[in-house]
Amino acid sequence: MRAMVMHSPGEPLRFEDLPRPEPQPGQLLLRVRACAVCRTDLHIFDGELDRPKLPLVLGHQIVGETEDGRRVGVPWLAWTDGDCRYCRSGRENLCDSARFTGYDVDGGYAEWVVADERFCFPIPEGYDDVAATPLLCAGLIGYRSLRLAGAAERLGLYGFGASAHLVAQVALWEGRRVFAFVRPGDQAGAAFARELGVEWAGPSDELPPEELDAAIIFAPVGPLVPQALRATAKGGVVVCAGIHMSDIPAFPYELLWGERVVRSVANLTRRDGEEFLAAAPRVPVRTQVETFPLEQANEALAKLRSGDLRGSAVLVP
């Protein structure tokens, strides 16, 4: 099968011919219909997540088709032991021995993939293969971040990309007021957010017109943490949604005082996936995508890096 293969961090992915993977008991063999590119892929590619299997096929937002014609989604969480302290308390996202798709096991930048059936999701009706792919991480981990933001009425989203544009739709549907923060100077990003119906869109180094009850930071930029705290009301929460972030600068305790909370979001549970994929068609969450042929995975990663995408890049084998 054709695949884009990572041999070492920072080196362009190579277009190669690999043997088709053999499903083990409990695994599905899937023909990859489409696979969206996630910022995590870029962190792995750059060596910021330091223990990938090598060589590696990236990609963990996969829509695949089984041999009997069912469409299933393969997310980041590939496998857990089911038995550790975290798994036994409903927190399999924190499992000590978890394996991740496109990191510990090969992912979807290929024509075929195998996946543990227990960790796959059915794809909701009303989404074609390409449109469904960003739901599987950008949507799903965004949804978990939104849940961890609590019942916040005034919600700030820092970094208005693949994940935020999906979370904004769910938050607006839930009746929240949404404030979008983009890179200073990114007029197109602010316009994109306003088109989706957010109440205010502006640069991330500005304060919003009102205090926020919660903020979610999608951009991997540590200095946004004190910035978001500064914009957040007493008792508010700042959720860091990415798997990697640059260092957070020191900040005065006063920004945290007043029972403000800073927390991260790690991975997903299968329950997050079931809840989000049930909610998505009801909103309905519309994904914005730009497609690339599989062999242009390097170009897709470069476009994500430069902030040149509206929504998600999706590879189609």
Summarize as ranges the residues that interact with Zn ion (CB under 5 A).
38, 40, 80-81, 84, 87, 95, 137
3-state class (DSSP) for residue 137: coil
H or E element in which residue 106 lies: none
Nearer Cβ to Zn ion, position 65 or 81?
A: 81
> Cα separation of 245 and 218, whole Å?
9
Least distance from Zn ion to the Cβ atom of residue 287, Å: 14
Least distance (Å) between residue 34 CB and Zn ion: 15
Nearer to Zn ion, 109 or 179 (CB): 109
- Comparing CB distances to Zn ion, the nearer of 72 and 137 is 137
**Spatial contact of 159 and 217, defined as CB atoms under 8 Å apart:** yes
Whose Cβ is closer to Zn ion: residue 107's or residue 317's? 107
Pairing of strands 212-217, 154-158: parallel
Contact 214, 150 (CB under 8 A): yes
- Show the tokens assigned to 44: 């792995």
**Whether 282 contacts 166, CB under 8 Å:** no
| Residue-wise burial string across 274-307, b where 16 or more C-beta atoms lie within 10 A, e elsewhere | eebbebbeeeebebbbbebebebbbebbebbeee
Closest contact distance (angstroms) between CB of 141 and Zn ion is 6
Q: What is the nearest approach in angstroms of Zn ion to the Cβ of residue 75?
A: 8
User: Measured from the CB atom, is 152 or 280 closer to Zn ion?
Assistant: 280
Q: How far apart are CB 229 and Zn ion at their closest, in Å?
A: 25
Round to whole Å and give the CA distance between 194 and 185: 15
Rounded Cα distance, 144 and 141, in Å: 5
Tell me how far, at minimum, the Cβ of 205 lies from Zn ion, in Å. 26
Give the Cβ contact number of residue 93 at 10 Å: 21
User: Least distance in Å: CB of 82 to Zn ion?
Assistant: 6
* For Zn ion, the closer CB: 14 or 85: 85
What tokens appear for 259 in the block? 């029972």
Kindly tell me the burial class for residue 36, based on how many C-beta atoms sit within 10 Å of its own C-beta (0-12, 13-18, 19 or more): buried
Is the Cβ of residue 105 or residue 229 nearer to Zn ion in the bound state? 105
Distance CA 108, CA 31 (A): 9
Structure tokens that stand for 171 in this block: 């938050």
Smallest gap from Cβ 301 to Zn ion, in A, equals 13
108/226 with CB nearer Zn ion: 108
- For the chain, helix, strand, coil in percent to 5 are 30, 25, 45
